[in-house]
Amino acid sequence: MRSIPLRWRIIASLIGLALGTTLILALLARHFLALSLQTNVNLEMGSALTSALALAKENYDAKKRQLQDIGQLLSAPPHRDLNALHAAFADAGLDNLTLRVSPLEQIDTDLSQGPAVSKVENDQLQLVLALPDSQRALTALLSLEALISVKNAVHTYKHIEMAEGDLRTAFLLAFLVAAAGVVLLASVIGVRIGFGITRPLNALLKGTREMGRDNLQYRIPKGRNDEIGLLIESFNQMAQDLVENRRKRLEAEQIAAWREIARRLAHEIKNPLTPIQLAVQQMRDKYSGNDPAYQQFVTNCTEIVTEEVENLRSLVQEFANFARMPSLSLSPSDLNECVHNVIRLYPDAHIHLDLEENPPALELDTEQMRRVLINLIENSLDASGKNGQIEIRTRTSDDTATLSVIDSGPGVPLKDRVRIFQPYVSTKESGMGLGLAVVHNIIEDHGGHISVKDASMGGAQFDLQLPIPDRAIAQPEEQR
């Protein structure tokens, strides 16, 4: 049974997590809402508020009667001043009053029936009476804050009691809206994360299948700067390493095959050379005739055969050298010093040096590097001619030292720049084409790389890139 794709599992997990969290929060909110309503809306609370309201009304009626009684008392003689009026109200237990005396003509209240008590604005009881033996009236205001507070509490309670059902409905509606919003948001985030993760994983899967089909040139497009991007970059680097390793393996197999051929040729050719040379020399020495022309003919033939035998010996020596490349003997060496040691062999050549000062020490086999430099300089001299210019340059970068040999010759055709380092490939009329193959092998054995391109002087530029030991080791550690 096929499992659910990863992207949909991610989306479903985010939606489930969002819904679960929302449901838990909703249950907690519902619990606290019910607890709050239970605390505020119950029979005991309603009964207490009703009783408090009844007591407040009784207190209101009592205050009103008190004001009427004291009004009747104060409206009769004798005349009292303001302090006496305050004292009278205080004796009656009405000390929270505001008293004001004003002329009768400023009073709008009808006092023909005696003192008047009424409820006025700002939740106050007002007593208005005409002062005896005077043309003035007394206005007393009594605050009803306690009564109004109880009344407002009762009204609030009744409102909450009636709105309890509406609150529960509103809460359910709010939960549904919030849940829908959370699900939508979780879906959008889940789709983005799910596809963001699975799309590059599918690309990696396709890449591995292409590798399985031996398509080592396949690369996954970049475009991310996170861990998945690093994984894609590692995959592409692995593919490049596989290509490079395959190239090196094929080159090693070809070199091994060519060396075996060179070894056999050297053996098969070398053995008969000496008997051939000795036989021809004996033919010349044994001739005892008196014919000068024939004598000269024999001598000329002997010299030609001897010369060609020597040429064959030189070729055989080249074959032998190529067939038995010695193992490297590495030691810390100065690349500039290797250049100077070789340059001494060419005092009459036009060689310009552009060497970097204080280069780092390299792990080199100085004898093999000497062989490399001699080979490259000899090729440059052959290509440039007697008056040609040669430049030798050294440079260093982060983890690589580069040795360049540049000449003013005709250069190397583009079609030959890869195969020129293979055995028995040469652009010269003479030679077996083994020199650059030997150079290539030595540089590869040093862990380096050699390439050729057009030079600024119009000729060829051979670049030898060699690793700097300490930096080459430290570089991967810094990347980790």
Q: What is the pLDDT of residues 299-323, one digit of tens each?
A: 888 888 888 877 777 767 766 666 5
- 46-55, 62-71, 203-212: the lowest-pLDDT one: 46-55
> Which residues of 327-409 form beta strands (DSSP E)?
331-333, 351-354, 362-364, 390-396, 400-407
Q: Which of 472, 473, 464, 470 is nearest to 394 (CA)?
A: 464
Q: What is the pLDDT of residues 439-462, one digit of tens each?
A: 888 898 898 999 999 888 788 999
Most confident residue range from 153-162, 287-296, 385-394: 385-394
Residues 6+ apart with CB under 8 A from 142: 63, 67, 94, 96, 97, 124, 125, 126, 127
C-alpha Rg value of the chain to the nearest Å: 57
Let me know the angle formed at the C-alpha of 197 by 192 and 201, rounded to the nearest 5 degrees.
145
Q: What is the pLDDT of residues 414-445, one digit of tens each?
A: 887 777 877 766 666 555 667 788 888 889 88
Q: Within 13 Å of residue 475, how many CA atoms lie on the same side as its CB?
A: 10
* 460 membership: H or E segment, kind and range: strand 460-467
Name the band, by pLDDT with cuts 50, 70 and 90, for residue 364. very high
> Do 236 and 220 contact (CB within 8 A), yes or no?
yes
* Domain boundaries of the chain, sorted by first residue: 234-322, 331-479
Q: Can you identify the CATH homologous superfamily of domain 331-479? A: Histidine kinase-like ATPase, C-terminal domain (3.30.565.10)
Between CA 448 and CA 470 the distance in angstroms is 15
Residues 6+ apart with CB under 8 A from 390: 349, 350, 351, 352, 377, 380, 381, 384, 405, 406, 407, 408
Q: What is the mean pLDDT of the chain?
A: 76
* Average pLDDT estimate for 31-59: 63
Between CA 109 and CA 19 the distance in angstroms is 69
Q: Is the pLDDT of residue 61 over 50?
A: yes
For residue 69, what pLDDT is reported?
Answer: 72
**pTM for the full predicted model:** 0.45
* Average pLDDT estimate for 7-27: 74
* Average pLDDT estimate for 217-245: 81
Name the band, by pLDDT with cuts 50, 70 and 90, for residue 1. very low
For residue 428, what pLDDT is reported?
Answer: 62
Between CA 183 and CA 185 the distance in angstroms is 5
Burial string for 52-71 (b: 16+ CB within 10 Å, else e) reads bbeebeeebeebbebbbebb
